[in-house]
Copies of this chain bind each other. A is one copy, B any other.
Amino acid sequence: MAKRIGTSTIAFDRPPYITSHAAVVGTKEGNGPLKGTFDLVSSDTHFGQKTWELAEARMQRLAIDKAVQKAGLSTNDLDLILSGDLLNQCVSSSLASVSTGVPFAGLYGACSTMAEGLALGACLFDGGAADTLLAAASSHFCSAERQYRFPLAYGGQRTPTAQWTATAAGAAVLSAAQSKVRITHAVLGRMVDMGVKDANNMGAAMAPSAYDTLSRLFRDLGAAPTDFDRILTGDLARAGGDLLAELFRRDGVDITPTYGDCGSMLYNPSQDVHAGGSGCGCSAAVLCGHILREMEAGRLKRVVLAGTGALMSPISLQQGQSIAGVCHAVVLEGV
């Protein structure tokens, strides 16, 4: 049975292994600095489908199938899929999993979805509710851009703080089958709303929630940032990441030696993504590609993934509501 530590941290008694994982991305992401860490880079942004929504669903399904296959399993072996995305009614996630025949619990955590799924999934495994389950998340530049901002062909100008929605998906199988990484702790985060209303500055909207969740985690564990090989947010990008470092600096804490952000890591500055990447698939693919491979190679031993989500809709923004951030975190330890 899990134990609650301090105000906010869940410590697992039977920490699940990340038995396998897979990341599938588009061409732009495959040309970035993390090239070579993904299971599949598609040269076809449509993933062979007629619509962007189906393209995203197909990409998520490819990540799910690959993760399941790498675990030596079939989808029949899964007790549950926890997944979500940015689209209205999370439709690419349901389209991705509908033909698997696996029990399906839809999540909505915006860009924090992968961390939310890993946190809830680890709780369900630890508590005996599921023995083998999968967490997944995806985003697609073309489905998101049209839904949130402008028609794709419009060519709207972007501000320097704007983020680029990644065409990416990640999936991870949690089970008792041994691997080199376990999820040992989780924090389900509170929403923090500091009044940011600029949809082109999501990093600023989410940084305070990342600070809130990470501060709680460090306090609950009695840990310093330096006790982790990598503190990873996903996705504050450069603008939000700088703000997060500043918030910790005010406490006299320097997180920068081990801090990284999935949105800042996915692209090269020359790729014209302004502040960096975003989208549920960004942290999912950076984790399930680069980070878990680094852990498996022994180059990272203890990592915290703090998934950050901007909880808003185009309608809520048009109506003048501010953007609440939320941040769910999981601690990953090499074994």
1/0 per residue, CB under 8 A from B, across A28-64: the answer is: 0000000000000000000000110110000000000
Interface residues of A in 1-28 (CB under 8 A from B): 1-4, 8, 10, 13
Chain A interface size, as a band, is: 35 or more
> Which residues on the B side are within 8 Å of A151 (C-beta)?
none
Interface residues of A in 206-228 (CB under 8 A from B): none
> Which residues on the B side are within 8 Å of A335 (C-beta)?
none
Interface residues of A in 281-335 (CB under 8 A from B): 311-316, 319, 321, 324, 326, 328
Asked if A103 and B190 sit within 8 Å, CB to CB, the answer is yes
CB distance from A240 to the nearest CB of B (A): 18
Q: Is A108 an interface residue (CB 8 A)?
A: yes
Among A193, A311, A328, which residue has the most Cβ atoms of chain B within 10 A? A311
Asked if B106 and A109 sit within 8 Å, CB to CB, the answer is yes
Q: Which of these, B54, B105, B126, B131, contacts A127 with CB under 8 Å?
A: B126
Asked if B311 and A106 sit within 8 Å, CB to CB, the answer is yes
The 6 closest A-B pairs by CB, nearest first: A127-B127, A94-B311, A1-B128, A89-B313, A106-B108, A123-B129
